[in-house]
Amino acid sequence: MIDKNYRQGDAKSEPFGQDAMLNPAPEQKIPEGSTTPQVAYQMVKDETYAQTQPRLNLATFVTTYMDEYATKLMNEAININYIDETEYPRVAVMCQKCINIVANLWNTPEQIRWKTGALAIGSSEACMLGGIAAWKRWIERRKKAGKPYDKPNFVISAGYQVVWEKFATLWGIEMRQVPLTRDHTTLDIDRAIKMCDENTFCVVAIQGVTWTGLNDDVEALDKALDKYNAETGNEVCIHVDAATGGFIMPFINPDKKWDFRLKWVLSISTSGHKFGLVYPGLGWVVWKDKQYLPADMSFTVDYLGAEVTQVGLNYSRPAAQILGQYYNFIRLGFEGYKNVQYNSMQIAKYLHEQLSTMSEFMPYSPEVPNPIVTWLMKPEIQKTAKWTLYDLQDKLAQHGWMVPAYAMPVDIEDMVVMRVLCKQGFSRDMCDELLHDITAAVAELNALEYPTPTRIAMEKNVPIVAKSFNHTGK
Ligand SMILES: *Cc1c(COP(=O)(O)O)cnc(C)c1O
| 127-169 pLDDT tens trace | 999 999 999 999 999 999 999 999 999 999 999 999 999 999 9
pLDDT band at 36 (very low <50, low <70, confident <90, very high): confident
pLDDT beyond 90 at 220: yes
Taking a C-beta distance cutoff of 8 angstroms, is the pair 238, 265 a contact?
Answer: yes
Residues 6+ apart with CB under 8 A from 123: 161, 163, 241, 243, 269, 270, 271, 274, 283
Ligand 1 near 244 CB (within 6 A):
yes
Hey, which of 57, 119, 161 would you mutate to test ligand 1's pocket, going by the most ligand atoms within 8 Å of its Cβ? 161
Q: Which helix (H) or strand (E) holds 226?
A: helix 218-232
**Which DSSP symbol is given to 469?**
-
Ligand 1 atom at minimum distance from 125 CA: 9
Mean pLDDT within 276-299: 94
pLDDT band at 305 (very low <50, low <70, confident <90, very high): low
**Pairwise CA distance, residues 418 & 404, whole Å:** 6
User: What is the Å distance from ligand 1's center to 241 Cα?
Assistant: 8
Of 14-18, 156-160, 271-275, 402-406, where does mean pLDDT reach its minimum?
A: 14-18
Position 439, amino acid: T
- pLDDT value at position 244? 98
**Pairwise CA distance, residues 101 & 34, whole Å:** 48
**How is 94-144 classified by DSSP, letter by letter?**
HHHHHHHHHHHHTT----SSS-SEEEESSHHHHHHHHHHHHHHHHHHHHHH
Residues 6+ apart with CB under 8 A from 300: 307, 308, 309, 310
Mean pLDDT within 96-105: 97
Q: What is the pLDDT of residues 196-210, one digit of tens each?
A: 999 999 999 999 999
Higher pLDDT, 35 or 244: 244
- pLDDT value at position 84? 82
- pLDDT value at position 460? 83
**Pairwise CA distance, residues 393 & 388, whole Å:** 9
Q: What are the CA-CA distances from residue 165 to residues 89, 173, 268 (Å)? A: 36, 9, 18
pLDDT beyond 50 at 468: no
- Provide the percentage of residues in the chain whose pLDDT is more than 70: 93
φ and ψ of 231, to 5 deg: -75, -35
Q: What is the pLDDT of residues 334-380, one digit of tens each?
A: 999 999 999 999 999 999 999 999 999 999 999 999 999 999 999 99
Predicted TM-score (pTM) of the model is 0.93
Q: What is the pLDDT of residues 425-457, one digit of tens each?
A: 999 999 999 999 999 999 999 999 999 999 999
Ligand 1 near 122 CB (within 6 A):
yes
Hey, which of 57, 124, 209 would you mutate to test ligand 1's pocket, going by the most ligand atoms within 8 Å of its Cβ? 124
- Provide the percentage of residues in the chain whose pLDDT is more than 90: 79
281 preceded by a cis bond (ω within 30 of 0) = yes
**Pairwise CA distance, residues 181 & 228, whole Å:** 24
- pLDDT value at position 186? 95
Angle, to 10 degrees, between the axis of helix 428-446 and the axis of helix 389-397? 120
Ligand 1 near 124 CB (within 6 A):
yes
Position 324, amino acid: G
Mean pLDDT within 10-37: 83
**How is 9-77 classified by DSSP, letter by letter?**
TTTT--GGGSGGGGSPPPSSS--SS---HHHHHHHHHHHTTTSPPGGGB-S--S-----HHHHHHHHHT
Position 50, amino acid: A
Mean pLDDT within 114-120: 95
Mean pLDDT within 388-403: 96
**Pairwise CA distance, residues 179 & 157, whole Å:** 6
- pLDDT value at position 471? 45
Q: What is the CA radius of gyration of the chain?
A: 25
Per-residue burial over 171-188, b if 16 or more Cβ lie within 10 Å, else e, is eebebbbbebeeeebbbb
Q: What are the CA-CA distances from residue 461 to residues 347, 392, 406 (Å)? A: 36, 19, 15
Q: What is the pLDDT of residues 407-430, one digit of tens each?
A: 998 888 889 999 999 999 999 999
